Amino acid sequence: MRRIFKKCTAFVAFTAAVCCFTLLHLASTAEGGQSDKPASQPETVKSFEKRVKEYVKLREQIEEKMPKLSKEAKPEEIEAHKKSFQEAVRASRTSSKPGHVFTPDVVDHIRTIIKREFKGTDLKQLREKVLEGETKGVPIRVNYPYPETKELVEMPPTLLLALPALPKQVRYRFVGKHLLLVDRENGLIVDYMLDALP
């Protein structure tokens, strides 16, 4: 019985060791899989998110200095506040140019994501949804307001999850094949990238 017990114990120990080795191997393989991605990709996303946060910090500082709206504010007062906020942010970003936030490396990264996430029928449906949106006349210009009369084409949830995360103050918007970064409150176009859709 003792011999049988010893053999069983040895077998259990051996099995546990094999399992541990297998798990470690899988973990290292997974890490290796991550390293197969371009080394610059994580840094590309971090740099993009940093630039977006810099914009958010600027617009938050400007908004904090503005008179506060009361809870009983009338529609015309709300609109006037929005316009003042808009103009103040525009004045502080007069030197901003296209590509200030959407740098070439980020543009390539986002195009790669869209090509990966949308193929065949999915890409066709996305193009139809985006191109059918009432966005004709929206200025593809940095620091210009997105017209309130134009449609805000909703982003597919799967694409939002794949794209670099944004703070709540800004959002992605498609205008035709182009991708815009728009201020959620004052409507300003922070930056844009051309031909985001393949």
Tens digit of each residue's pLDDT (9 = 90 or more) over 89-110: 999 999 999 999 999 999 999 9
For the chain, the domain total comes to 1
Domain that holds residue 124: 41-193
Q: Is residue 11 part of a domain?
A: no
Calculate mean pLDDT across residues 186-191: 96
Cα→Cα distances 58→81, 90, 181, 183, 195, Å: 17, 11, 15, 12, 28
Q: Which of 17-21, 77-81, 100-104, 120-124 has the highest mean pLDDT?
A: 100-104
Q: Is residue 6 part of a domain?
A: no
Residue 17 lies in a domain: no
24 lies in some domain: no
Task: Tally Cβ neighbours within 10 Å of residue 54.
Answer: 12
Q: Which among 197, 168, 173 has a CA at the least distance from the CA of 185? A: 168
Q: What is the mean pLDDT of residues 64-88?
A: 91
d(CA 123, CA 117): 8
143 occurs within a structural domain: yes
Q: Does 36 fall in a domain?
A: no
On whether residue 5 sits in a domain, the answer given is: no
Q: Report yes or no on 62 lying in a domain.
A: yes
* The pLDDT of residue 174: 92
